[in-house]
Amino acid sequence: MTSFRSRTFTEYLQIIWRRKLLIFLVATGMLISTFLLIERMPNVYESRSTVVTTGSLTDRPAINARVAATTERLTSRGFLEPIVIQYEPYKNVSVDAAVAQLRQDLKIDTTYRSDYPERLTVAYRHTDPAIAKDVTTELVSVFGKMNDAVQKQVADTASGLASEITDVENRLRSIGKLRSATASRRSAAGHVAGALNSERAQRIAAASSIETLTDKQFALEQQIAEQNRQIQEQQRIVKLAPSDARASSSYGVLLVRKAELEGQLKDYGTQYTDKNPKVIQTRNQLGEINHQIAQLNAGADQDSAPVNSAEARELRAMQRELTKMQTELAITQRELNRKKQAAPNADVPIRSAFVPAVAPVGDGGETSAEAQTDYETLRTRYDALLTKQSQLERAQVATAGLDPGVFQVVDEPSVPRIPVGPNRFKYRMFCVALALGLALLIAFALEIPKLYSINDDRDVEYYLGVPVIALIPETVTPNEGKSRRLLLGRVAGAVLIGLLVSAALILMTYMEAFTHIAALMR
């Protein structure tokens, strides 16, 4: 037959049940052998070390470059080969294979904050915890060597800066002496010229002041003469003014103001005492008004010009202005006399040119300019060198209690106590699934030929297309005895297969195949 009837899930379960002994033997044999091999797998220990980086924000590019260089050196053959030769972490392998395996077991993690490498973690795994610790210590030592190299470079730079600063200081001191000598010569010449110029300036200032005061005296005299003329004209105008003071507008205003004050005084008398400030002020104002009215009346009786007329007021203003001018003229005359007494030679003619402030000193002017330029250049260089020296000193200062240097080992390598592998539970689950799968595969491989033959009434109905009316009970025949012997032979074959699988696994263990598999799965 070229086709077979599709089976139901129940029929497949029956096939498995018929081969249960075979499945059990194969799966048990594989599980026992693999479990023994898993237990014999060596433990893997991991030694770790943490290194942090320190430095200012301006040193970030340099620190990034140093971290990259150190990381590359950790995985270089030139660095790993001496470690492999010294500690021999891998037996019976060549140096190249040992270096490759060491690179595989070595793990370097760099933690960044923004673009700044903040922390490095170095981890190494091995079956021997002491070797794991020793190899990790050798790996971490590269950071100490980098710190030593950086410190040596900083020390050399600091020494060069110190010698250059000393040289610049000596040159500045020499130029300072030269400048002091030049300044002394110029100071001596400058004192003489300064005394002459000072005397000349004083004479010029005195002459200028006398000239100004003379002009002012003349102007005041002219103004006083003009003011006297105007006053005489105003006096004639006042004499010709009408003499009836009562007819003037000012007399009426005074009477109105007097009546207002008398009324206020009567009101205050009912409210305040005689010592009240308002009462006293009102009485004073009333007395002044009465005095002005009396003057107007007296002027009218004498047949003279009114005292408070516009012409009289203007005359009094002109007389006050004249008095001011006369006072100012007297002050000017006194100031002029003092100036003439203080500078008796002020009238002597003054030369047209000043004495030079600095007399020429030989050929030193050009040399002095060059010395000044050199001094400014050296001073700028000196400030830059001091700034760089202070930066180097700050870089050498310990940060947060740590030693100076770019790399700080905050977690030293130690001997691990607890293994990190292998994960035996994961391996056991994998072996259980593999054993069951292999046993089921063998069982189905043995049952595949029966799928093309007639085994029960359902096969009869499927292949013949007729229903089954009755079943003949199963009886034991000599052929069936042969079948049972065949079954025992198959069982023995299954046991033999299990033994062969176990032997293959033992051979793989001897060849350390599982160790390499575990290393690949880490």
Q: What's the rounded Cα separation, in Å, for the pair 429 and 438?
A: 14
Dig out the tokens for 348 from the structure: 């002597």
Overall average pLDDT of the 54-61 stretch = 68
Q: How confident is the model at residue 428 (pLDDT cuts 50, 70, 90)?
A: confident
pLDDT at 509 over 80: no
The third-level CATH classification (topology) of the domain covering 46-162+403-411 is Bacterial polysaccharide co-polymerase-like (3.30.1890)
CA-to-CA separations, 9 to 14, 363, 449, 474, in angstroms, rounded? 9, 121, 18, 25
> pTM value?
0.47
Contact 408, 402 (CB under 8 A): yes
Q: What mean pLDDT value characterizes the chain?
A: 76
pLDDT at 517 over 60: no
* H/E stretch holding 94: none
pLDDT at 189 over 80: no
Q: How confident is the model at residue 261 (pLDDT cuts 50, 70, 90)?
A: confident
Ordered strands of the 45-53 beta sheet: 106-113, 116-126, 45-53, 407-411
* Interval 223-244: pLDDT, tens: 888 888 888 888 887 777 655 5
Q: What's the rounded Cα separation, in Å, for the pair 315 and 453?
A: 160
The pLDDT of residue 34 is 79
pLDDT at 521 over 60: no
Residue for token digits 């009101």? 267
**Nearest C-alpha neighbor of 175 from the set 382, 387, 361, 385:** 382
Residue for token digits 């044999």? 29
The pLDDT of residue 353 is 41
The pLDDT of residue 123 is 92
Is pLDDT larger for residue 509 or for residue 197? 197
The residues pairing with 53 across neighbouring beta strands, listed in sequence order, are 407
The pLDDT of residue 118 is 82
User: What share of the chain has pLDDT > 90, as a percent?
Assistant: 1
Q: How confident is the model at residue 9 (pLDDT cuts 50, 70, 90)?
A: low
| 298-306: Cβ within 8 A, 24+ apart | 299/243, 299/245, 300/243, 300/244, 300/245, 300/246, 303/243, 304/243, 305/238, 305/239, 305/241, 305/243, 306/241, 306/242, 306/243, 306/245, 306/248, 306/250
Q: What's the rounded Cα separation, in Å, for the pair 361 and 473?
A: 147
Q: Which phi and psi angles does 300 have, rounded to 5°?
A: -65, -35
Least confident of 38-42, 496-500, 510-514: 510-514
DSSP state of 417: -
Least confident of 364-378, 417-431, 500-514: 500-514
* Interval 327-370: pLDDT, tens: 888 888 888 888 888 765 555 554 444 444 444 444 455 566 77
Chain-centroid distance of CA 321 in Å reads 75
pLDDT at 468 over 50: yes
Q: How confident is the model at residue 484 (pLDDT cuts 50, 70, 90)?
A: low
* Interval 141-178: pLDDT, tens: 888 887 787 778 778 888 888 888 888 888 888 888 88
* Interval 245-254: pLDDT, tens: 555 566 677 8
Neighbours of 233 (CB within 10 A): 12
pLDDT at 265 over 50: yes
* Interval 107-141: pLDDT, tens: 988 888 877 788 889 999 888 889 989 999 988 88
pLDDT at 407 over 50: yes
The pLDDT of residue 299 is 59
pLDDT at 204 over 50: yes
* H/E stretch holding 410: strand 407-411
| Residue 504, C-beta contacts closer than 8 angstroms, at least 6 positions apart | none
* H/E stretch holding 45: strand 45-53
Q: How confident is the model at residue 402 (pLDDT cuts 50, 70, 90)?
A: low
The helix-helix angle for 513-521 and 95-105 (nearest 10°) equals 40
Q: What's the rounded Cα separation, in Å, for the pair 23 and 439?
A: 5
| Residue 44, C-beta contacts closer than 8 angstroms, at least 6 positions apart | 125, 126, 127, 419, 420, 421, 422, 518, 522
* Interval 440-455: pLDDT, tens: 888 777 777 666 666 6
* Interval 13-24: pLDDT, tens: 777 777 777 778
The residues pairing with 411 across neighbouring beta strands, listed in sequence order, are 50
Contact 83, 135 (CB under 8 A): yes
Query: What are the structural domain ranges in the chain?
Result: 9-41+422-521, 46-162+403-411, 242-308
Is pLDDT larger for residue 311 or for residue 282? 282
Overall average pLDDT of the 397-419 stretch = 72
pLDDT at 514 over 50: yes
DSSP state of 406: S
pLDDT at 304 over 60: no
Backbone conformation region of residue 465, classed left if phi is above 0, alpha if psi is from -120 to 50, else beta? left
| Residue 332, C-beta contacts closer than 8 angstroms, at least 6 positions apart | 213, 216, 217, 220
